[in-house]
Amino acid sequence: MRRLFDILLLFKEYLLFVCCILISIILLSSNDSDQIRTIRSLTVATVGFLQDTFGFIPNYFDLKEENKILRERNVMLADEVSRLREGKLENIRLRELLELKERTPYKYVSANVVAKNLQLLRNTITLDVGEDDGVKANMPILTDAGLVGKVIATSSRYAVGQILLNNDFRASAKVQRGRVDGIVLWQGGEHLLLKNVAKTLDVQPGDLVMTSEYSSIFPPGIKIGVVSKTGQAPGALFQTVEITPTVDFSRLEEVFVVTYFPDTSRIAVQQRIPK
C-alpha cells in the first residue's frame, strides 16, 4: 500500500493532468453543441473502425466467457443429439415391429423389456405387460427378427419370459429349405442346436430354421435362426446342427407377446394316444 502510494506520489503531476483532462472531456461531452455532436460521431466512427480493424485479435476475457457458454451449449446439444438418436432408433425398431404386426394374422401385445439376464443358464426377460393386458403363460414372445421365447410367469402388470438362450427351452423347428424337422434347444454359448436331425437329411449352413406346425405353443413359420454349422460325429445317429439366432438378445428392448392359443382339441386327441 505504501509502495503504491509512493508510486502515485512520484507520478502525481501526470495523474493530476489525466484527471483534469478527463474532467474536461466529461464536461465537454455534457454539452450539446454542433462541435460536440461532430466529435461524438467522429469518435463513434473511429472506435468502430478500430474495432473492425483489430477485431481479429481475440479478447482473452471474452474468449473465456464465450468458451464457457460454448461448453454449456455443447453439453446441451450433445444431450439433445443423444436423445434424438435414441428416438430415431426407437422409431426404426417400432416401425419394424409395426410392419411385423401388420403382416401376421395373430393378435399382438406390445411390451418393453424392463429386465433381462443373459449370463445364466436359465436366462429370462421381464416384460411390462401382464394378465391385465391379456398375457398368459406359454404365449410366444417375438420381434420382427424372430422368435424370442415364451411367457413362463405372469402377474397383473408384468410377465417373465423364457428366452431361447435358456437350458429349459425347447421348440419344434423345421429347416425351411429341406423341410427337416428337429428340436431347438440351447446348451450354452451363443448358438442354438437343432437336435434329432438324422445324418442322412439335407441341412446346409445358411438354411433358415423356423417354428414348425408340430409345436403346441408356437405358431408355425416364425424365424428362429440360421444354420451356421453342421457336423457329423462318427458313430452317432444324428448330425449336429448349430443355429445362430436371428434375434440379437443383447439389444432386445421392445417385443410382442402373441396372444396365440393352440388348438386344444388337437392336443386332447394327441394325448389320448398311449406313448
Partner 1 sequence: MRRTAEYILLSLFLILLQTSVVNFLSIATIVPDLLIVWIVYIAIRQGQFVGTIAGFVIGLLLDLISGKDGMLGLAAMAKTVCGFTAGYFYNENKTVQTLGGYRFILAIAIASLLHNVIYFLIFLQGSEIQWWGALLWHGVPTTVYTTVFGLLPMFAFARKYLS
Applying CB under 8 A, the residues found at the interface with partner 1 are 12-13, 16-17, 20-21, 23-28, 30-39, 42
Q: Cα separation of 171 and 183, whole Å?
A: 6
Give the nearer residue to partner 1 in terms of CB position, either 27 or 69: 27
Which value, to the nearest 10 degrees, does the dihedral of the CA atoms of residues 100, 101, 105, 111 take?
120
CB of 61 to partner 1, least distance (A): 32
CB of 53 to partner 1, least distance (A): 23
Give the nearer residue to partner 1 in terms of CB position, either 27 or 57: 27
Give the nearer residue to partner 1 in terms of CB position, either 14 or 61: 14
Give the nearer residue to partner 1 in terms of CB position, either 27 or 273: 27
Task: List Cβ neighbours of 169 (8 Å cut-off, separation of 6 or more).
Answer: 149, 150, 162, 163, 184, 185, 186
CB of 45 to partner 1, least distance (A): 13
CB of 62 to partner 1, least distance (A): 33
Give, to the nearest 10 degrees, the angle between helix 34-54 and helix 12-29.
120
Give the nearer residue to partner 1 in terms of CB position, either 37 or 199: 37
Give the nearer residue to partner 1 in terms of CB position, either 33 or 265: 33
CB of 17 to partner 1, least distance (A): 5
Buried b (16+ CB within 10 A) or exposed e, 89-116: eeeeeeeebeebbeeeeeebbbbebeeb
Give the nearer residue to partner 1 in terms of CB position, either 17 or 49: 17
CB of 10 to partner 1, least distance (A): 12
CB of 5 to partner 1, least distance (A): 16
Q: Cα separation of 127 and 60, whole Å?
A: 55
